[in-house]
Amino acid sequence: MARKGLLLILSSPSGAGKSTLTRRLMGWDATMRFSVSATTRAPRPGEEDGREYFFRSRAEFEAMVDADQMLEHAEVFGNRYGTPRGPVEANMREGCDTVFDIDWQGGQQIRNSALGRDVVSIFVLPPSIAELDRRLRGRGQDSDEVIAGRMAKSRDEISHWAEYDYVLVNDDLDATFARLTTILEAERLRRDRQPGLSDFVRGLNREFETR
């Protein structure tokens, strides 16, 4: 039976494994869609409109906000970022789930939006703060100063764990991914996400009447 697509929000402190889990999830189910954000910042070399971001002028972005075409939005380092509503609603109509790799603030706005009842939110925790620090340093991409800033921000991010529907402790990537897919499969089977179910049951009742 056809079902309505859901909105899957994944949040975590940097280094907890959210982005890796998101990539695995997209490979696990080719029908899933990744939410592409809109931004007012200029494209970087190699970036394409509609792939990395929807690149918009500040006036265009603010017009979308005023027209209620953004599910969430924020200003970061002088640039606007947000999630356009249109592509997400199209995914839902097609029965495709949309994955959001966003922080707790963006997740909160989406949960409070008109599409909030279709949200499944998951927070990913590290097994320990020492392990979180080790993972950040293991990337070999950031200076000690940047890592210190990420660690400082992590405490505030972790404080919002109780706002989410599910919480996963990523102590083992394969086991955590298995738990993630179990959650998604169960949420897809919720009665209110299967709009054809009522017609199906009516058909069963008609069969009783013709026996």
Q: How many residues are present in the chain?
A: 211
Stretch 142-170: mean pLDDT, rounded? 92
* pLDDT band per the 50, 70, 90 thresholds, residue 123: very high
Stretch 119-131: mean pLDDT, rounded? 96
Overall CATH class of domain 7-35+95-210 = alpha beta
Stretch 37-47: mean pLDDT, rounded? 93
* All residues at 6 or more sequence positions from 190 whose CB lies less than 8 Å from its CB, including other chains: none
Instruction: Assess whether pLDDT exceeds 70 at residue 115.
Output: yes
Which pLDDT score, from 0 to 100, does residue 139 have? 77
Which pLDDT score, from 0 to 100, does residue 27 have? 95
Amino acid at 177: F
Domain spans, the chain: 7-35+95-210
Stretch 79-94: mean pLDDT, rounded? 94
- Of all residues in the chain, what percent carry a pLDDT higher than 70? 100
- Do residues 168 and 18 touch, judged by C-beta distance below 8 A? no
Nearest to 77 by CA among 124, 41, 29: 41
Distance CA 206, CA 211 (A): 9
What mean pLDDT value characterizes the chain? 93
Stretch 166-187: mean pLDDT, rounded? 97
- Of all residues in the chain, what percent carry a pLDDT higher than 90? 77
* All residues at 6 or more sequence positions from 115 whose CB lies less than 8 Å from its CB, including other chains: 7, 71, 85, 88, 89, 92
Which pLDDT score, from 0 to 100, does residue 150 have? 85
Name the pairing type of β-strands 119-125 and 166-169.
parallel
Distance CA 22, CA 100 (A): 9
Q: Which of 2-11, 40-49, 59-68, 140-149 comes out lowest in average pLDDT?
A: 140-149
* pLDDT band per the 50, 70, 90 thresholds, residue 1: low
